Amino acid sequence: MSVPSVPIPKNLDPESQEEDYVHNVYNEIASHFSQTRYKPWPIVEKFLNDREDYSIGLDVGCGNGKYLGVNKKLFIVGTDRSSGLIECANEISGGCYNLGVADGLSLPHQEGRFDFAISIAVVHHFATAERRVQAISHILSKIRSGGEVLIYCWALEQEKSRRGYKEGDEQDILIPWVLAKKSPKKIKERKGKNDVADPEVKAKQEESHSDTEKDETIFRFYHLYKKGELSEDAVRTGVCTIVKEGYEKDNWWVIVQKN
């Protein structure tokens, strides 16, 4: 059974859609989202470990920075549009990562400077096909000739997962994220010595917390890529060739080499 989704408002231009349903959302859920992102995916890990020692790389949409320390012999600059996620990455690394806040269509780096790049679960957040191709092209502009880029995007073909998306479903959708709030019980327990003894006052406090601390559902925009579409978008940039492609964990991935 597919994860419930909602229609995308038709009155939003692509930039506003991304602002409302991507940028603002990730800033709001940054801390909660970061707690769910800690284990590197095998193919991303292998890609990073296969790089030449002391190569210089770029992680576009680095989130909480979980890939920046995979290979200690690489120098990787991580950027993300969400300042909240960059704060999480700074906290996790103790300020040791090379980080910056930057939009994926306006990276501040010198062109042709990096040996490689990764962009994991990012490109699918751009609202139109043209902007997704532009995002891939922009990453490639920062890579030297012969350098490689690994890109991951959510797949439409997720029949075997809990999400259940499949061929024939809508590809442009808003997917819910449930932002868990603190329960009245936990709030009461945390008060300790400051807890109120009067049962009626306690009941009113708990009722108040249950009204204000309900879980919140927030929606993120995704374009679900169908088989072959991600490679097609990469080829449409006109500046790369496909090295390898595949499917992992409900995602399509592709490794491209800049011409």
User: What average pLDDT is seen over the chain?
Assistant: 88
Q: Would 3 be classed as within a structural domain?
A: no
What was the pLDDT predicted at 191? 38
Cα–Cα distances in angstroms (integers) from residue 155 to residues 120, 143, 212, 232, 251, in the given order? 13, 26, 36, 14, 5
- Identify the CA nearest to 5 among candidates 156, 192, 172: 172
* Angle, CA of 115, 118 and 122, to the nearest 5°: 145
Cα-Cα-Cα-Cα dihedral sign, residues 166, 173, 59, 161? negative
Is the residue at 83 inside a domain? yes
**Residue 255 Cα distances to 43, 47, 65, 111, 143, angstroms:** 10, 9, 20, 19, 13
Task: Assess if residue 202 is contained within a domain.
Answer: no
72 domain-assigned = yes
Closest C-alpha among 54, 2, 1 to residue 174: 2
Report, as an integer, the average pLDDT of 242-255: 97
pLDDT, tens digit (0-9, with 9 covering 90-100), for 155-189: 999 998 988 999 999 999 999 999 876 544 433 33
Domain total in the chain: 1
More confident residue, 54 or 209: 54
CATH number at residue 119: 3.40.50.150
Query: Is 106 among the domain residues?
Result: yes
pLDDT tens by residue, 145-155 = 999 999 999 99
Does 201 have pLDDT greater than 70?
no
163 in any annotated domain: no
| pLDDT value at 25 more than 60 | yes
pLDDT higher for 213 or 215?
Answer: 215
Handedness of CA 30, 34, 36, 37 (dihedral sign): positive
Provide the CA 72 distance to its chain's centre, in angstroms: 23
SS3 15: helix
The amino acid sitting at 42 is P
Q: What pLDDT shows up at residue 213? A: 61
Query: In this predicted structure, what is the pLDDT of residue 79?
Result: 98
Identify whether 232 is part of a domain.
Answer: yes
Per-residue pLDDT at 24:
97
pLDDT given at position 202: 41
b (16+ CB within 10 A) / e for 159-198: eeeebebeeebeebbbbebeeeeeebeebeeeeeeeeeee
**Which domain, by its residues, includes 65?**
14-157+226-258
Helix 184-191 to helix 199-212 angle (10° resolution) is 130
Please give the pLDDT value at position 23.
97
Whether 213 is in a domain gets the answer no
